[in-house]
Amino acid sequence: MKVALAQIDIQLADVDKNEQRIMQAVAQAADQEADVVVLPEMWNSGYALQRLKEVADVGGTRTKQLLQSLSKEYDINIVGGSVATLKGQEFYNTMYVVSNDGQCLSEYDKVHLIGLMHEDRYMTAGSHLNTFELAGTPSAGVICYDIRFPEWVRTNMAQIPAKVLYVVAQWPIQRIEQWQVMLQSRAIENQAYVVAVNRVGADDDNTFGGRSLVIDPLGHIMIKGSAEKEEIYVTDIDFAQIDNIRGQMPIFLDRKPHLYR
Ligand SMILES: NC(=O)CCC(=O)C(=O)O
C-alpha cells in the first residue's frame, strides 16, 4: 500500500484558502500514485478557537462533500486529518475517513482535548472509537494529543486488531522529540505501522514542527519529514512484516484486559 503524507501549512481561519491547499495536496498525492493520502489536524481553520462560530463546518457537510468528491475524482482513499465542526450546539475536532469510491467510512471526534492549547475551553470531547477498514487494511485513527494516552490507542488498535495507526496533528516544535518517541512506542507496542502527519508553519501562539513520520512495526523510521518545509511524502508499506512479528510474539492474544484499569 502506498501512503502519502500531506505535510502542509494552514492559514488561520481562512477556510477557502485551506480548502484550495487540500485540493492541491490530494492531487499531488494522486500524481504519485498513492493509495491513501493523510491530511493534518484542523486543516480547515487552524487553532482559530475564538473564531469557531465563523469557521466551524456545520455538521461537517462541506468537508465531507469535498473529501468525497476528491476521493472519487482521484480514485484515492483519504484520511481526512481533522476539521473544526459544529454539531448541535457544540464544537468538535472531527476526523473523516473516506474511501476511494466516496464512502465516508468513519467520523471521529477527538477524545483528548489539550488544555495547554485551550482546546478544552472551546470544544467538546468525543467518546467513540475510531477503527475502519481502509484499502483492505484494518486501521485506526487518532488526533494529536490522543497519542499521549497509550491506553486509548491500544483500545482502538486491539479492536480489529489494526495494522496501521493514522495520527493527524498540529504539534508544536518545542515538543517534537516527544512526538517521535511516543509514536515509535505506539508502533512497537501495537506491532503496527504508524503514519503520522503534522503541519508546518505558525499561528500567533505556536510554531508547528512538521517531522511527519512513517514508522514500521519494529519502531524503525521509514520517513521523517522536514521541520519546516511543506512536502508530500510517499512510501510503500508491506504488511507481511506485521504477520511475521505478530506470529512470533502474539501480544494481542497475550493481553490480560480484565486486569487493566
Ligand atoms: N493539537 C494537539 O493536540 C497538540 C498536542 C501537543 O502539543 C502535545 O501533546 O504536546
Please identify every residue annotated as catalytic.
Answer: 41, 110, 144
Does the C-beta of 148 come closer than 6 Å to ligand 1? Answer: yes
Q: Is residue 233 predicted with pLDDT exceeding 90?
A: yes
Does the C-beta of 46 come closer than 6 Å to ligand 1? Answer: no
pLDDT tens track for 202-215: 999 999 999 999 99
Q: Pick from 81, 233, 97: which is nearest to 169 by CA?
A: 81
Give the rounded percent of residues in the chain with a pLDDT score beyond 70.
100
Are 99 and 125 in contact by the 8 Å Cβ rule? The answer is no
Q: What is the mean pLDDT of the chain?
A: 98
**101 CA to middle of ligand 1, Å?**
32
Does the C-beta of 172 come closer than 6 Å to ligand 1? Answer: yes
- Ligand 1 atom closest to Cα of residue 145: 3
Query: Residue 236 is placed in which grid cell?
Result: 510503500
pLDDT tens track for 152-201: 999 999 999 999 999 999 999 999 999 999 999 999 999 999 999 999 99
What is the pLDDT, as a whole number, of residue 210?
98
Does the C-beta of 144 come closer than 6 Å to ligand 1? Answer: yes
Mean pLDDT of 42-51: 98
Structural domain that includes position 188: 2-259
Are 76 and 43 in contact by the 8 Å Cβ rule? The answer is no
Is the complex ipTM more than 0.95? yes
Q: What is the domain-level CATH number for residue 153?
A: 3.60.110.10
Does the C-beta of 175 come closer than 6 Å to ligand 1? Answer: yes
**144 CA to middle of ligand 1, Å?**
5
Is this prediction's pTM over 0.90? yes
- Ligand 1 atom closest to Cα of residue 172: 7
- Ligand 1 atom closest to Cα of residue 113: 3
Does the C-beta of 171 come closer than 6 Å to ligand 1? Answer: yes
pLDDT tens track for 48-101: 999 999 999 999 999 999 999 999 999 999 999 999 999 999 999 999 999 999
Mean pLDDT of 225-253: 96
pLDDT band at 261 (very low <50, low <70, confident <90, very high): confident
How far is 202 from 91, CA to CA, in rounded Å?
23
**227 CA to middle of ligand 1, Å?**
16
Distance of CA 35 to the CA centre of its chain: 16
How far is 22 from 43, CA to CA, in rounded Å?
8
pLDDT band at 134 (very low <50, low <70, confident <90, very high): very high
Mutate to test the pocket of ligand 1, among 41, 42, 112, 171 (most ligand atoms within 8 A of CB): 171
What is the pLDDT, as a whole number, of residue 14?
98
Query: How many separate domains does the chain show?
Result: 1
Q: Pick from 162, 166, 179, 142: which is nearest to 251 by CA?
A: 162
Q: Is residue 251 predicted with pLDDT exceeding 90?
A: yes
**145 CA to middle of ligand 1, Å?**
4
pLDDT band at 27 (very low <50, low <70, confident <90, very high): very high
**244 CA to middle of ligand 1, Å?**
33
How far is 218 from 75, CA to CA, in rounded Å?
31
pLDDT band at 119 (very low <50, low <70, confident <90, very high): very high
What is the pLDDT, as a whole number, of residue 99?
98
Does the C-beta of 128 come closer than 6 Å to ligand 1? Answer: no
**166 CA to middle of ligand 1, Å?**
15
Neighbours of 247 (CB within 10 A): 8
- At 52 the three-state DSSP class reads helix
